[in-house]
Structure 1
């Protein structure tokens, strides 16, 4: 097997597609060139390594990626070590909401303190983050979570976020009790996907109170939840995130007696010094948001 072909395959598998890999490659190479060389690799093996649309690794592709990933993923760190410098890199995974609301400020703070800091970033939900930490594929996860479990993952709490209901200001209820006290709740409930900790915590508390109110719309982000509320599609379940800006025309209804959702830094095994520095900076940034 051609080592360059294996490198290209690694980036395609990591980025979940040829076009995404072309945008994120550490050196310039066009998408057609990547596709042609991946095809050469597949022809030499006599096996397809992934399905194109939608992207999915085949069984053979999964096996090959598991073999080459540990080597190629660690090349940047090895290069830094051979240059005689400190390892100032981090492999981070977090959901989209963290990337949008917190990560830019966190990264700016770390870069100001650590010359030469660099990082890789991938999106992932809590289950993916935990699996990648156990597999040594990432150094740090940032996510909401139901809390520590006996699964080899260390949880360091950074923030507790209360749950809120979001309604339209012009025609919505004024308190959460007005909704939850109904014999039959008519308002459609708009939430993140059911597996998200905020939705799970809300539903568990409803069950404890013998209240039935299940999601009608499950959306990919809190921004979308808020947007659908402003358009009149129902009541949204959101998190009270420090520094978050609500869209005009909506009212927040606190759920003060509901469980809070906790935001964690997730690690596994011995934490590198860069992880500790990053977590310390995260705590400072979050405190800054609280003060606004």
Structure 2
């Protein structure tokens, strides 16, 4: 049997489906490629290994998975053993803003403590990070979040950041109240995508105050929000991030009474010593940004 086909079958059986396996595989492979190679394995065996809709292993699939599961499940442990008994690696996922502003300093701090530390990194929004943590695809997520939920994800709070508005320095409002006290707000609101914690928290507070002001432009990053505000497209909702430079040509308006957004280290299940060390260094680095 083709060993790669067996590996793909292992992930399909573990993830309970081809599409879930494509999302959670530890390396990139498209769903059609997985399906095609699983079909080749079934053709070679002359047996159907699982039912597609709904997913369920056949008796032959159960037999094969029981046989191969110990080998593929124990591979990470063998890698740890070959490294000398300590796994000094992490699989990390975080949004672009964390990669740019915080991650280089965090990685440097961890490498000062563990010189042979190595890591993999992928971009992800909070929903993707939580999915990948539950599937075991990553060890650690770094993101703004609503915190711990009843979904197995644990949030270790690292930082609180206030919400602020960005407006042009010349000709823009002097305070947030000048905008929020209007009977009808015509100024376009520029934000991150609607599901982001910053936008959700801001809209919930507006609703509590019975104020209607909805995003007109939803952009992929806080940098883009600032650039569009500087170009005159409206007022931008951003986070007041410690240590981050203030954008030139823009005025920062504090939002008094609005909730702070919390930045978390997100994990699932028991934390490894490497995760614990990374979180400790993250706390130390972030404390130095104030």
**TM range, smaller chain:** 0.7 to 0.9
- Structure 1 position 223, deviation (Å): 0.4
2:17 aligned partner: none
Matched residue, 2:128: 128
Equivalent residue for 2:240?
240
Shift of 1:39: 11
Determine if contact 1:77/1:89 at 8 Å carries over to the other structure. no
> How does the TM-score come out when normalised to structure 1?
0.77
What does residue 272 of structure 2 align with? 272
Distance in structure 2 (CA, Å) of the matches to 1:189 and 1:271: 40
State how far apart, in whole Å, the 2-side matches of 1:259 and 1:126 are: 19
Distance in 1 separating the partners of 2:179 and 2:135: 44
Residue 251 (structure 1) shift: 0.6
Asked whether the equivalents of residues 129 and 141 of structure 1 are also in contact (C-alpha less than 8 Å), the reply is: yes
Aligned residue in 2 for 1:183 = 183
The Cα of 1:38 is off from its aligned counterpart by: 8.5
Please name the residue that 2:216 is paired with: 216
Q: Tell me the alpha carbon deviations over residues 29-58 of structure 1, each in whole angstroms, 9 at most, x when there is no partner.
A: xxxxxxxx98994883699xxxxxxxxxxx
CA–CA distance in structure 2, aligned partners of residues 129 and 231 of structure 1: 32
Matched, 1:44 2:44: no
Distance 2:165 2:266 in 1: 28
Q: Is the 8 A contact 1:162 1:256 kept in 2?
A: no
**Distance of aligned partners of 1:203 and 1:69 in 2 relative to their CA distance in 1, 3 Å threshold:** farther
* 1:88-103 superposed matches below 5 A: 88-103=88-103
CA contact (8 A) 2:160 2:263 kept: yes
Whole-angstrom distance in 2 between the partners of 1:71 and 1:284: 39
Q: Tell me the TM-score normalized by structure 2.
A: 0.78
Task: Indicate the residue corresponding to 1:22 in structure 2.
Answer: none
Check conservation: 1:70, 1:137, Cα contact below 8 A: no
Q: CA deviation at 1:84?
A: 2.2
Number of residue-to-residue matches in the alignment? 259
Structure 1: give runs of 5+ residues left out of the alignment. Answer: 19-36, 48-58
Residue 48 of structure 2 is matched in structure 1 by none
For structure 2, the 5+ residue unaligned runs are 12-20, 44-51, 57-64
Deviation of 1:198 (Å): 0.5
What SS does structure 2 have at the residue aligned with 1:78? helix
Residue 113 (structure 1) aligned with residue 109 (structure 2) = no
Matches within 5 A, 1:66-81: 75=75, 78-81=78-81
Query: Structure 2 vs 1, CA of residues 255 and 219 (structure 1 numbering), >3 Å: closer, same or farther?
Result: same
Find the counterpart in structure 1 of residue 164 from structure 2: 164
Shift of residue 73, structure 1, vs aligned partner: 9.2
2: CA distance, partners of 1:99 / 1:279:
15
Which stretch shifts more, 138-147 or 196-205? 138-147
Give the 4+ runs in structure 1 shifted more than 4 A.
4-18, 37-43, 67-77
Give the greater-gyration-radius structure (CA): 2
